[in-house]
Structures are given as structure tokens and as C-alpha cells.
């Protein structure tokens, strides 16, 4: 196991190196000029000030030199300074990390709370009314855009029924009840899409597992159906489900951008959108790096969970 962990961590190094190159390249791919964005419309005609600012930012140096300098600063924990606020990027990322983590965790909890029972019931009762409604719900969740779902939730529960606040964020440390109340709709917006994908995978994996010989043997031995489904069928069916969940982390990070923008949550997604509009390239680079690391870590944890779910799996 430890050798596998070391190998996976070593393999993450070249991936992070490629991610850093892509992240750094954003400053040249996105339209706009950081120096012009910092000068503002009043100083656009001042060419001397513009050239001096580009020299101060290091934009007049060759591209490889700029990248190496940025990479050295990155290894020292320095992601630069925000063009828009003149604050360190690391400080902005640390402030916006907690809302994003809370939103992602609540969305995953909602997705699993929906997908596990619906997928299991649909698999053990194929063709039943519950299976039909579960399949329709899963297809609807995949087909409906998350931004449309978020807007409809605001319209129904905030504007019409007036039972949930439309937007905003409060830290759980300050007021747990209000924080959960504000995060219900954005979490469900993301969780519904994830639940649809996971439900289909659980149903498919369970249907295949329930036909295996060891499941038929367990039933022939007289074990309770609940025990057969949970201990024998579900545990073995979770391997492909874990793979899908790990792959959905990337989609979850993309959905966070939309949800945080719609519900005015001061997380990393909204920070990225605001920074893109303002051409705040250092912040955009930092957000891309953090989200890429989050996806890599999530997939690493998924690989470790394989051995926990199925003891037959051993990493040499």
C-alpha cells in the first residue's frame, strides 16, 4: 500500500507541472492586457506609464524567463498579487476556499443521499414503478442544465413560496442554521446533477452484481435480503461507482463556478468569474491551480478507497 501511495504521489508531480504550464499560459490566451487593466481607462494614452508597468510586472521579458520566475515564486507559496484588489492571491484564495469546500461537500452528500437508495431500489425491483420514476428522475437530472435548475429553485422557493433566502453566505462557525439554510439550494443544484449520474451507475452495477453466483449462493443459504443486498451486492458494485464519483469531481468543480455566481456565494468559482471579467490573471491562475490540485487529490483518495471497499484489492 505504501509503495502505491508513493508512486501515485510521484506521478502527480509531472501532472502538476503540466497544470502549472497551462495555468501560466492563461495570461497569454485570455484577451486583454494586465497592464492596461491596472492602469484603467484614464491612463490608456500614457504610453510611458504603460511600458513602465509592463516592465514592473515582468511582461517585457522572454516567456520562458517569466514562467521560471513564476514557478519559483509558486514553489515558495507566492502566487503573486491581485491586479484588482492589490491583495496577495494566496490570501484571496484562502478566504474563498471555505465556501467552496462547504458547497462541494454538501452537494456530494445530497447526491449520495439521493442516488444510493434510488439506485438500489431500481436495481432490486427492475421494471417496477419505483424503477420507472427513478430512471425518469435520473434522465431529467442529466438533461437539465444546472444554471436553469438554480434559477428555478430561486423562483419557486425564494420568490414564490418565500421559505428560503435567494442568495448569500454565512460561515457555519458564525451561524450554522443560517449557513445551511443559505446553502440548501446551491447544494441541491449541484447535487441533483451528480445524483443523476451516480444513480444510473449504481443501478447498472447492482443489476450486474445481483446476477453473480455468490449472490445467488447467499440467498440460497437463507440470508436476509437486506443483508444480501448491502453486504454482498452493494459492496462489490461500489468499485465502478467509486470510479464515476471520482471522475465527477471535475464536473463538480465546474458546477461550483455556476452555482456560486447564481447564488452570490463568495467562493472560488465566483472569484474566478470576477477575475476573468477584470482580467485579473494572477487570481485566475491561482484558482486553476487549486481546482486542479483538488481534482488530483480526489482521484487519489478514490484509488485508496478501492482497497477499503473491496479487500481483495491489494496494491503492491
Query: Each residue of 240-254: pLDDT tens digit?
Result: 888 888 888 877 887
Q: Which of 175, 165, 190 is nearest to 269 (CA)?
A: 190
Q: Is the pLDDT of residue 124 over 70?
A: yes
Are 285 and 23 spatial neighbours (Cβ–Cβ below 8 Å)?
yes
Catalogue all structural domains in the chain, each as residue range(s) with its CATH number.
2-75 (no CATH), 96-309 (1.10.3720.10)
> What integer is the mean pLDDT of 75-104?
87
Q: Is the pLDDT of residue 314 over 70?
A: no
Model pLDDT, residue 152: 92
Confidence of residue 106 (pLDDT cuts 50, 70, 90): very high
C-alpha cell at 38: 491596472
Model pLDDT, residue 31: 63
> What integer is the mean pLDDT of 187-205?
90
> What pTM was computed for the model?
0.83
Q: Is the pLDDT of residue 232 over 70?
A: yes
* Other CB atoms within 10 Å distance of the CB of residue 119: 26
Q: Is the pLDDT of residue 287 over 80?
A: yes
Q: Is the pLDDT of residue 176 over 70?
A: yes
Are 284 and 84 spatial neighbours (Cβ–Cβ below 8 Å)?
no
As to burial, measured by CB atoms within 10 angstroms (0-12 exposed, 13-18 middle, 19+ buried), residue 41 is exposed
Confidence of residue 155 (pLDDT cuts 50, 70, 90): very high
Q: Is the pLDDT of residue 262 over 80?
A: yes
Are 137 and 196 spatial neighbours (Cβ–Cβ below 8 Å)?
yes
Model pLDDT, residue 154: 93
Q: Is the pLDDT of residue 146 over 70?
A: yes
Q: Is the pLDDT of residue 107 over 90?
A: yes
Model pLDDT, residue 249: 82
Model pLDDT, residue 316: 54
Chain segment 75-88, per-residue pLDDT in tens: 888 888 887 788 88
Q: Is the pLDDT of residue 157 over 90?
A: yes
Placement of cell 474563498 in the chain: 96
Model pLDDT, residue 137: 87
Higher-confidence residue: 172 or 235? Answer: 172
The highest-confidence range among 42-51, 53-62, 153-162, by mean pLDDT, is 153-162
> What integer is the mean pLDDT of 26-44?
65
Cα–Cα dist 126/231, whole Å: 20
> What integer is the mean pLDDT of 124-131?
86
Amino acid at each position: 500500500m505504501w509503495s502505491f501511495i508513493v508512486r501515485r504521489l510521484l506521478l502527480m508531480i509531472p501532472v502538476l507541472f503540466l497544470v502549472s504550464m497551462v495555468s501560466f499560459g492563461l495570461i497569454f490566451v485570455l484577451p486583454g492586457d494586465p497592464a492596461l487593466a491596472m492602469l484603467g481607462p484614464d491612463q490608456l494614452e500614457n504610453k510611458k506609464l504603460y511600458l513602465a508597468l509592463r516592465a514592473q510586472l515582468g511582461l517585457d521579458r522572454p516567456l520562458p524567463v517569466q514562467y521560471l520566475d513564476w514557478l519559483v515564486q509558486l514553489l515558495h507559496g507566492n502566487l503573486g498579487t491581485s491586479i484588482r484588489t492589490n491583495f496577495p492571491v494566496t490570501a484571496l484564495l484562502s478566504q474563498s476556499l471555505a465556501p467552496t469546500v462547504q458547497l462541494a461537500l454538501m452537494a456530494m452528500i445530497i447526491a449520495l443521499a439521493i442516488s444510493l437508495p434510488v439506485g438500489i431500489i431500481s436495481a432490486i425491483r427492475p421494471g417496477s414503478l419505483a424503477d420507472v420514476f427513478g430512471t425518469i428522475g435520473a434522465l431529467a437530472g442529466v438533461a437539465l442544465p444546472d444554471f436553469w435548475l438554480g434559477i428555478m429553485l430561486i423562483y419557486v422557493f425564494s420568490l414564490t413560496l418565500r421559505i428560503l433566502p435567494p442568495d448569500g453566505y454565512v460561515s457555519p462557525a458564525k451561524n450554522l442554521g443560517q449557513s445551511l439554510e443559505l446553502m440548501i439550494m446551491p447544494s441541491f443544484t449541484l447535487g441533483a446533477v451528480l445524483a443523476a449520474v451516480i444513480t444510473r451507475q449504481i443501478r447498472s452495477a447492482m443489476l450486474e452484481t445481483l446476477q453473480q453466483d455468490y449472490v445467488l449462493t447467499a440467498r440460497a443459504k437463507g440470508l436476509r435480503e437486506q443483508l444480501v443486498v448491502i453486504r454482498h451486492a452493494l459492496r462489490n458494485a461500489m468499485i465502478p461507482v467509486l470510479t464515476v464519483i471520482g471522475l465527477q469531481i471535475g464536473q463538480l468543480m465546474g458546477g461550483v463556478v455556476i452555482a456560486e455566481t447564481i447564488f452570490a456565494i463568495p467562493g472560488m468559482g465566483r472569484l474566478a468569474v470576477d477575475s476573468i471579467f477584470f482580467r485579473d490573471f494572477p487570481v485566475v491562475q491561482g484558482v486553476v491551480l487549486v481546482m486542479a490540485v483538488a481534482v488530483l487529490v480526489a482521484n487519489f483518495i478514490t484509488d485508496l478507497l478501492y482497497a477499503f471497499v473491496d479487500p481483495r484489492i491489494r496494491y503492491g
